[in-house]
């Protein structure tokens, strides 16, 4: 074999092979990782994907999703041209139209609705990815609509709500310096390799690790203490830990006395949650609760690593997480090195150690000058605390009721209806709209219901601004041209702004000019960023002091850390809105619904992560699917399976009073007996159909995806119901 | 042998990034019936709540004294002098599966044309000074490409350091 053939076979980049390495980032999961990519390009085509060694987060590595980028980019299922629906909604019958016609149709429709019903009757939704969100939010508000909605209506914002109600500002775990890490329901070893590596480094220097998780995972396997809670009882566990900490006087008396509000009432409330009571409510042995409480409270500094959605995907989710975050204040670990340290976000929820004008850019029209957002009446605390967006869980109800005003049109970017509980109910509501457009990379089931479908490109075909917590910033450049007729989401947004006739100087100035405007306070220019296609460290990273509250106070109503929320005191007497982090069992649980539990004895927990998938984003790829050949499958404890006569890979039926799905059984000792874990987003077995549309946390509007009641049986025709 | 791929099972979390990076590097498409060179195993032991789980990422071991090389009647399997990789010349493979009988690890797999397929140690990459694709991608650093004696040295010093810590702790307790 000739040398050059050999080099080509090995895909070795050099002048002889003509293979060139270009930089980009992976945004299949988003935004906490965003690993650096080295794309091996030959003749304009990517032939191999590798992690960038010079990228400070991923350091040359990738997760299985990132490693599968080439199959994702070149998937046969990619949308290739703009499409106009010709058959009934859902039929998948479309005909190609030109970009010009598609965008003109959308703009004309939106302006017509604006004239007849007002701009608020047009809603703008973002699913994954997240890079275009600032521009989409500006588009909504510039148009005059308060209804910018995102998938954050089920992810992250409720966790932020619990933190904001407690401290005013969330503080993340300072992994590098902590001596004791309490991971509360996250499995970074399968979802965030950078955090996993930080845990390994921490353990090497003697850091203690406590992990709360209803399952056994690679994270719990490395824990000094694993608290295997029953799903939905996190609040009771946190209160029982607080009981132990207060009883043994391990709490930070100075912090509690001088910087907190409502401690006496909290102490009084916590009295009933003895470790024994904690064991009864959570299933975690009392001595383990006490051991964890002592470890977390006595080792300094200690940090809590929260998760974006698991704890808040319960009907009692925000109250549960408030009880957890109260521990941070109780032990004086708020905003200290090695504790839960406050770093203000720079761009798209992520700190970058630079000041930006993101907020001014996105909130180009104040909320007060627009009608109330979708969900404002039903979830008032959302409006009190969450500044970013409307609550999309209320969207189907408002479309149906037309109250307080009708929603007539919707444009989604990566919108997937399977995110909603009663997912088909959402789709039905969308069917009642005058007009629905979805922008996506693939022809999804949601797209099949749109009037117009627009093809978006992937991260390697576009340019996007991102920053990283270590003070790193990147403005990516397209490594290849957008495939087929696809375009970047941002290009679509700017084109729409022009066709809508918006008198918006930054939309008129263009994308790069907008990025420059946002970055202006940082002193970093787009020209400078363009010189560093793989990204660069920010020249003057912000220096952040500990205990910023000493000077600024807490951004809460009392100006202090609140064991008892002043925001929630306004809702006195309203169930679920208690000012103390009160524990109530999940709405559908053995405790709250004993009669239902007789017929539906299993706890249904959904949405755990597998390492090769994030939501549905890599479902179509043979590479990722080869790692999970039996999916869709539900994890069930083998003791339960034996009792029910179920063997590995048998078809099983999971039923709730609302609906049923049939999936394969995956027998494992990693889940608790009595709990069935089902993965979400499958077209052929959509577990969200099993939930009622109003099975929501009254504070956040988040669905109770991680604890409901169900029954499980071996699938035979005619079983169940 | 110069360098070999090692798996630290303490670090492997069974994510499968290595298997996918290998398929990307070697243009392997499972939907076409092409076998993966690297496979992931998940082994549970014990019963709830005392169960434990281990993960393994497995591919050809590129044995120094390879039974498959000896077993192959057509000389299709050879050892590369420079890298120590065991390589298959597919044009010589007759699909007799002798290598499968000989291999103690169950590594050889067959493509739709019944030709043997397996890990080639990313020979071209290694000769160009790069790590094998699976090693490069591994987010946990569980896969390493090193000389066997160096790996053993690292393992040994880790063991010694753990032992010293344990002795020290035991001493301070008394």
- If one counts every other C-beta atom within 10 angstroms of the C-beta of residue A547, the result is 17
Long-range contacts of A501-507 (CB under 8 A, 24+ apart): A501/A107, A501/A111, A502/A139, A502/A142, A502/A143, A504/A138, A504/A142, A504/A364, A506/A138, A506/A361, A506/A364, A507/A138, A507/A139, A507/A142
Chain-chain contact of B47 with A10 (C-beta, under 8 angstroms): no
Cβ <8 Å between A221 and B53? yes
Question: In this complex, which of B23, B48, B127 lies closest to A673 when CB atoms are compared?
Answer: B48
The minimal CB distance from A668 to the residues B25, B44, B127 is found for B44
B31 contact residues in A (CB cutoff 8 A): 622
Cβ separation A669–B47 shorter than 8 A: yes
CA distance A600 to A711: 5
Contact (CB<8Å) A68/B13: no
For residues A433 and A427, what is the distance between their CA atoms, to the nearest angstrom? 10
* Residue A631 pLDDT: 84
Q: A64 vs B16: CB contact, 8 Å cut-off?
A: yes
What is the structure's pLDDT at A2? 66
Task: Please indicate if any CB of chain A lies within 8 Å of the CB of B151.
Answer: no
Between the CA of residue A702 and those of A238, A282, A391, what are the distances in Å?
Answer: 20, 22, 9
State residue A145's pLDDT score. Answer: 98
Q: Do B13 and A196 touch (CB under 8 A)?
A: yes
Q: Do B137 and A62 touch (CB under 8 A)?
A: yes
* Residue A629, pLDDT score: 87
Helices within A331-472 (DSSP H only): 358-362, 380-385, 395-401, 423-431
Is B1 a residue whose pLDDT tops 60? no
Chain A residues with CB under 8 Å of B19 CB are 64, 623, 626-627
What's the CA gap between B149 and A686, in Å, rounded? 51
* Residue B171 pLDDT: 75
Q: Which residues of B fall within a CB distance of 8 Å from A624? A: 16, 20
CB atoms B24 and A49 under 8 Å: yes
Low-confidence ranges of chain A (pLDDT < 70): 1-2, 718-721
Please, which residues bridge with residue A453 across strands? A83, A438
Nearest to B124 among A6, A60, A216 (CB): A6
Question: Could B53 and A61 be called an inter-chain contact, meaning their C-beta atoms sit closer than 8 Å?
Answer: no
Give backbone dihedrals phi and psi of A225, rounded to 5 degrees, phi first: -135, 130
Of B16, B48, B122, Cβ closest to residue A669: B48
Question: Which chain B residues are closer than 8 Å to A221 by Cβ?
Answer: 52-53
ipTM above 0.85 for this complex: yes
Which B residues, 79 through 108, put their C-beta within 8 Å of a C-beta on chain A?
Answer: none
CB-based contact A12 B128, cutoff 8 Å: yes
Question: Could you tell me the CA-to-CA distances from A169 to A40, A186, A306, A345, A566 in Å, in that order?
Answer: 42, 21, 14, 11, 15
- Interface probe, candidates A7, A9, A10, A59, chain B, greatest B C-beta count within 10 A: A10
Question: Could you tell me how far CA A59 lies from the centroid of its own chain?
Answer: 24
pLDDT in tens, A169-197: 999 999 999 999 999 999 999 999 999 99
From the number of C-beta atoms within 10 Å of its C-beta (0-12, 13-18, 19+), residue B163 rates as: exposed
CB contacts, 8 Å: A200 with chain B: 11, 140
Taking the model in full, what pTM does it have?
A: 0.96
Q: For the packed helices A489-499 and A511-519, what is the interaxial angle rounded to 10 degrees? A: 100
Q: Angle formed by the axes of helices A286-298 and A275-282, to 10°?
A: 120
Which residues have a Cβ under 8 Å from the Cβ of B96 and sit 6 or more positions away? Answer: B73
With an 8 Å Cβ cutoff, are B128 and A670 in contact? no
Q: Is A50 in contact with B133 (Cβ distance < 8 A)?
A: yes
For chain B, counts of helices (H) and of strands (E): 6, 8
B18 to chain A: nearest residue by CA? A64
Give the count of beta carbons closer than 10 Å to the beta carbon of residue B90. 12
Touching check for B149 and chain A: CB below 8 Å?
no
Which chain B residues contact residue A672 at CB under 8 A? 48-49
CA B30 to each of CA A592, A626, B120: distance values in angstroms, whole numbers, following the listed order: 47, 7, 18
* Predicted pLDDT at A719: 56
CB contact B38 to A (< 8 Å): no
Helix (H) or strand (E) holding A598: helix A594-599
Interface probe for A, chosen from B19, B54, B139 (most Cβ of A below 10 Å), is: B139
Chain A residues touching B138 at Cβ < 8 A = 61
Chain B residues near residue A639 by CB distance under 8 angstroms: 47-48
Contact at CB, B140 and A193, closer than 8 angstroms:
yes
Contacts of A61 in chain B (CB under 8 A): 17, 136-139, 141
* B71 contact A CB<8A: no
The CA distance from B25 to the nearest CA of chain A, in Å, is: 6
**Residue B15 in contact with partner chain A when CB distance is under 8 A:** yes
Put simply, the answer to whether B19 touches A626 (Cβ < 8 Å) is yes
β-strand pairing of A708-714 with A602-606: antiparallel
ω into B93 cis (within 30 of 0): no
Confidence of residue B165 (pLDDT cuts 50, 70, 90): confident
Interface of B with A in 152-171 (CB under 8 A): none
Residue of A nearest to B12 (CA): A218
Q: How many CB pairs under 8 A join A and B?
A: 127
Q: Angle at the Cα of A251 (from A249 to A257), degrees rounded to 5?
A: 105
Would you call B128 and A216 a contact, using CB atoms and an 8 Å cutoff? no
Separation CA A97–CA A301 (nearest Å): 60
Cβ neighbours for A41, distance < 8 A, ≥ 6 positions apart: A19, A20, A21, A22, A47, A479, A480
pLDDT for position A207 = 98
* Distance, CA of A145 to CA of B58 (rounded, Å): 55
Q: Which residues of A touch B44 (CB under 8 A)?
A: 668-670
* CA distance, residue B138 to nearest chain A CA (Å): 6
Length, in residues, of chain A: 721
Strand pairing class (A225-227; A208-212): parallel
Secondary structure element (H or E) that encloses residue A326, with its range: helix A317-330
For B129: left if phi > 0, alpha if psi spans -120 to 50, otherwise beta; the answer is left
State whether B24 and A68 contact (CB < 8 Å): yes
Interval B120-160: pLDDT, tens: 999 999 999 999 999 999 999 999 999 989 988 888 888 88
The predicted-structure confidence for B18-73, as pLDDT tens digits, reads as follows 999 999 999 999 999 999 999 999 999 999 989 999 999 999 999 999 999 999 99
Instruction: Kindly report the nearest CA distance between residue B153 and chain A, in angstroms.
Output: 18
CB contact under 8 A, A61 and B137: yes
With a CB cutoff of 8 Å and minimum separation 6, the contacts of A91 are A85, A448
Q: What is the dihedral of CA A610, A155, A420, A574, to 10 degrees?
A: 130
Q: pLDDT by residue (tens digit) across B69-117?
A: 999 999 999 999 989 999 999 999 999 999 999 999 999 999 999 999 9
Query: Are the CB atoms for A137 and A389 separated by under 8 Å?
Result: yes
Whether B51 and chain A come into contact, CB under 8 Å, resolves to: yes
Contact criterion met (CB < 8 Å) for B140 and A189:
yes
């Amino acid at each position: 074999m000739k040398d050059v053939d050999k080099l080509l076979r090995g895909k070795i980049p050099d002048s002889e092979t003509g293979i060139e390495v270009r930089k980009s980032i992976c945004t299949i999961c988003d935004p906490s990782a965003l690993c650096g990519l080295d794309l091996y390009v030959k003749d304009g085509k990517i032939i191999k994907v590798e992690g960038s060694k010079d990228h400070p987060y991923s350091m040359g590595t990738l997760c299985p999703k990132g490693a599968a980028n080439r199959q994702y980019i070149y998937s046969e299922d990619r949308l290739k041209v703009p499409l106009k629906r010709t058959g009934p909604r859902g039929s998948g019958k479309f005909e190609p139209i030109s970009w010009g016609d598609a965008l003109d149709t959308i703009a004309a429709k939106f302006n017509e609705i604006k004239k007849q019903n007002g701009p608020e009757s047009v809603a703008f939704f973002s699913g994954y990815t997240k890079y275009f969100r600032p521009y989409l939010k500006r588009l909504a508000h510039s148009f005059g609509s308060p209804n910018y909605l995102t998938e954050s209506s089920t992810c992250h914002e409720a966790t932020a709500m619990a933190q904001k109600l407690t401290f005013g500002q969330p503080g993340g775990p300072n992994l590098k310096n902590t001596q004791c890490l309490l991971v509360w329901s996250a499995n970074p070893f399968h979802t965030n390799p950078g955090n996993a590596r930080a845990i390994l480094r921490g353990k090497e220097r003697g850091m203690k690790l406590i992990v709360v998780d209803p399952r056994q995972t690679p994270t719990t396997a490395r824990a000094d203490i694993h608290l295997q809670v029953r799903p939905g009882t996190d609040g009771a566990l946190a209160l029982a830990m607080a009981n132990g900490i207060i009883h043994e006087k391990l709490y930070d008396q100075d912090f509690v006395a001088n910087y907190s509000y409502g401690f006496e009432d909290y102490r009084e409330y916590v009295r009933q949650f003895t470790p024994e009571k904690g064991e009864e409510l959570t299933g975690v042995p009392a001595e383990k609760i006490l051991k964890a409480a002592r470890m977390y409270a006595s080792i300094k500094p200690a940090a809590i690593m929260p998760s974006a959605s698991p704890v808040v995907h319960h009907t009692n989710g925000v109250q549960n997480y408030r009880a957890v975050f109260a521990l941070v204040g109780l032990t004086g670990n708020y905003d200290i090195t090695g504790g839960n340290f406050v770093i203000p976000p720079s761009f798209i929820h992520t700190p970058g150690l630079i000041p930006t004008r993101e907020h001014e850019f996105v909130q180009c029209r104040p909320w007060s000058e627009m009608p109330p957002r979708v969900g404002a009446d039903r979830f008032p605390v959302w409006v009190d605390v969450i500044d970013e967006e409307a609550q999309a869980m209320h969207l189907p109800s408002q479309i149906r009721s037309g109250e307080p005003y009708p929603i007539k049109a919707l444009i989604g970017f990566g919108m997937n209806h399977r995110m909603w509980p009663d997912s088909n109910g959402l789709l039905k509501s969308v069917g009642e709209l005058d007009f629905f457009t979805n922008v996506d990379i693939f022809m999804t089931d949601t797209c099949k219901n749109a009037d117009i479908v627009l093809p978006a490109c992937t991260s390697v075909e576009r340019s996007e601004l991102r920053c990283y917590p270590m003070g790193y910033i990147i403005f990516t450049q397209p490594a290849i041209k957008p495939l087929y007729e696809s375009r970047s989401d941002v290009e679509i947004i700017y084109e729409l702004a022009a066709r809508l006739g918006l008198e918006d100087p930054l939309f008129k100035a263009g994308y790069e000019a907008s990025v420059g405007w946002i970055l202006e306070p940082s002193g970093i220019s787009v020209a400078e960023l363009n010189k560093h296609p793989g990204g660069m460290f920010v020249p003057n990273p912000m220096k952040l002091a500990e205990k910023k509250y000493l000077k600024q106070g807490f951004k809460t109503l009392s100006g202090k850390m609140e064991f008892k929320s002043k925001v929630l005191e306004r809702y006195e007497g309203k169930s679920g809105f208690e000012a103390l982090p009160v524990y109530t069992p999940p709405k559908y649980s053995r405790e709250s619904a004993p009669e239902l539990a007789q017929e539906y004895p299993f706890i249904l927990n959904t949405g755990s992560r597998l390492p090769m998938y994030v939501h549905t984003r890599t479902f179509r790829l043979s590479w990722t699917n080869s790692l999970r050949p039996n999916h869709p499958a539900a994890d069930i404890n083998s003791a339960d399976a034996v009792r029910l006569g179920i063997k590995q890979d048998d078809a099983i039926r999971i039923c709730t009073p609302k609906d049923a799905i049939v999936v394969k059984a995956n027998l494992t000792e990693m889940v608790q007996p009595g709990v069935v874990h089902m993965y979400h987003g499958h077209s052929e077995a959509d577990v969200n159909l099993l939930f009622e549309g109003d099975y929501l946390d009254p504070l956040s509007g988040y669905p109770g995806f991680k604890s409901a009641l169900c029954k499980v049986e071996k699938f035979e025709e005619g079983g169940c119901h | 042998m110069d360098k070999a791929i090692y798996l630290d099972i303490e670090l492997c979390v069974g994510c499968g990034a290595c298997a996918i990076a290998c398929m990307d590097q070697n243009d392997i498409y499972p939907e076409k019936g092409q076998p993966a060179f690297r496979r992931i195993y998940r082994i549970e032991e014990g019963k709830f709540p005392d169960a434990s789980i281990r993960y393994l990422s497995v591919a050809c071991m590129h044995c120094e004294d390879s039974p498959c090389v000896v077993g192959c009647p057509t000389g299709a399997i050879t050892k590369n002098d420079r890298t120590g990789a065991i390589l298959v010349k597919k044009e010589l493979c007759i699909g007799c599966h002798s290598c499968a009988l000989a291999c103690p690890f169950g590594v050889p797999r067959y493509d739709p044309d019944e030709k043997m397929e397996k890990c080639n140690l990313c020979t071209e990459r290694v000769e160009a000074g790069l790590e094998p694709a699976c090693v490069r991608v591994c987010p946990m650093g569980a896969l390493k490409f090193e000389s066997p004696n160096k790996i053993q040295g690292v393992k040994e010093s880790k063991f010694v350091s753990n032992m010293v810590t344990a002795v020290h702790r035991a001493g301070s307790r008394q």
